[in-house]
Amino acid sequence: MVENFSEWFHNILEEANITDSRYPVKGMAIWMPYGFQIRKYTLELLKELLDKDNEEVLFPMLIPETELAKEGEHVKGFEDEVYWVTKGGQKDLNEQLALRPTSETAIYPMYSLWIRSHIDLPIKYYQIVNTFRYETKHTRPLIRVREISTFKEAHTAHATKQEAKEQVDEYIELYKEFFNNLGIPYLISDRPSWDKFPGADYTMAFDTIMPDGKTLQIGTIHNLGQTFAKTFDITFEDKDGEHKYVYQTCAGLSDRVIAAMIANHGDEKGLRLPSMVAPTQVTIIPILFKKGREEVLSKCMEIKKNLESVGLRVKIDDRDIRPGKKFYDWELKGTPIKIELGPRDLENNITIAMRRDKLEKVELPLDDSLADNILDLIEKYDEDLKTTSWKFLEDHVIFTTNLDEIQELIESGNVVSFNWCGDDECGKEIEEKTGYDILGIYEELDGESGIKCINNNQEEAKYIALIAKTY
Ligand code: PR8
């Protein structure tokens, strides 16, 4: 799979009924029923986390050109990626309307109307919408699309700089919890100034590593400072009657989360879904013969009910096809647990369970302990998926003090960490010399260590930074 990750990924999306990319607009695909279910459970998981401290809203998709153009740096960052609506029927519109590439310029003019006093703060809204970006880089299903169909964007406003910083840290914790639930490993870094979100003071990014060693940015949190507040005139009256600009943050995730999950856990047989988002968590496969058929089926129904009563999503695969074909489908679809039941098992009062990752048979007694035993298997399965993925990531982050070694390390499938002085010009020079992207600052050094920058041996290194081949 590692040798040909791209092909594997494209095939699995189609074979497992996740997306269909044959839609006749480049970069836009259809969520197929199985993919839609995975998407649904993934969203539920995220919403549960966000709803603790954020409120969901829904803004229109079209943004007037005057609003989009207001924030100079922001518009410059997006100008080549915006789709425009210029006509209503046959008539040219008085003002062209942008299909949102992201919603700062839709939301913040309204924040300016809504926020009046310090008691209106903080404001923490999020929405789950589709956004449009006319990407010029090679498009890939879920990974780089032109219609991001599941954009989860949060936008906050605060009275103080400190609160905005704390909000960034809170979103980092929230995203960690979200990715941990999905067993997706990540590297968190402070993006270099030339790669931060247009209009942000700084950007904190989550990157995962794909099986081919390239990294994928799977989530970003931006501290916007007062840039947008000044542009959109978002002010409040503080306790002393003074008018002040708010401080803002925004954070976003996309369809890439599902791409990362598929890529991190999948194997040559198909998907291996974390239980939280698996549409079916346990598949029961009856092994049917003429004799004892009814008894086996009725026991399967009983097991299904029993497992559902502890909250599991269970299906009986009673299709009239060979069991071998059912096993094949179960492996492809990545359901965490399969249990088999035939007439002889029924006689012996046992069932044969199998985890999708280990593919080893486990005999479980058909008694009151069954639900607990299955829950236990699922817990271990999730834990092992996560451990395996994290191990892969950790094994593929390699430190070097030699600039000339970077290329070889990256080309053999790694992300490289190195000592860096943190200077912009030096960083760009490293990117130019190596041909790869600096992801950002991963760790701060104490500055007293005498460690030198990888590129400029005279300069003290202040940070450990990451560099990689990126999607
Ligand atoms: C913001 N504003 O927009 P961001 N295809 C798939 N996923 C993508 C694509 C694409 N073409 N482009 C970006 N992403 C801020 C925060 C509101 C929310 C994913 O930030 O431009 C990336 O994983 O960094 C990215 O981290 C995330 O969307 C947010 O996009």
Nearest CA to ligand 1 atom 30: 252
Mean pLDDT of 413-438: 97
Find where tokens 């950002």 sit. 440
Could you state, in order of their start, the residue ranges of all structural domains in the chain? Answer: 5-265, 282-377, 397-468
Residue 470 has pLDDT above 90, yes or no: yes
Mean pLDDT of 391-414: 97
Model pTM score: 0.97
CA of 254 to the centre of ligand 1 (A): 6
Question: What residues are in contact with ligand 1 under a 6 Å CB criterion?
Answer: 102, 104, 133, 135, 144-145, 148, 153, 197, 217-220, 222, 250-256
Mean pLDDT of 283-305: 96
Residue 141 has pLDDT above 80, yes or no: yes
Third-level CATH fold of 397-468: Translation Initiation Factor IF3 (3.30.110)
CATH number for the segment(s) 5-265 = 3.30.930.10
Q: Residue 449 has what pLDDT?
A: 74
Mean pLDDT of 367-383: 98
Residue-wise pLDDT tens digits, 429-457: 999 999 999 999 999 998 677 899 999 87
Q: What letter would DSSP give residue 187?
A: E
CA of 155 to the centre of ligand 1 (A): 13
> How high is the mean pLDDT of the chain?
96
Q: At what angle do helices 370-395 and 293-308 cross, to 10 degrees?
A: 70
CA of 298 to the centre of ligand 1 (A): 49
CA of 101 to the centre of ligand 1 (A): 9
CATH number for the segment(s) 282-377 = 3.40.50.800
- 282 backbone dihedrals φ, ψ, rounded to 5°: -135, 125
Sheet holding 84-88, edge to edge: 62-64, 91-99, 84-88
Residue 1 has pLDDT above 70, yes or no: no
| Nearest atom of ligand 1 to the alpha carbon of 133 | 11
Nearest CA to ligand 1 atom 12: 144
Residue-wise pLDDT tens digits, 202-227: 999 999 999 999 999 999 999 999 99
Q: Residue 58 has what pLDDT?
A: 98
Amino acid at 422: G
122: cis peptide before it, omega within 30°? Answer: yes
Q: Residue 2 has what pLDDT?
A: 59
Mean pLDDT of 411-439: 97
CA of 257 to the centre of ligand 1 (A): 11
**Where residue 297 falls among pLDDT bands split at 50, 70, 90?**
very high
Q: Do domains 5-265 and 397-468 have the same CATH topology?
A: no
CA dihedral for 184, 190, 192, 198, sign (positive or negative):
positive
Q: Which two tokens stand for residue 444?
A: 């701060």
Give the Cα separation of 228 and 246 in Å (integer). 9
Mean pLDDT of 157-178: 98
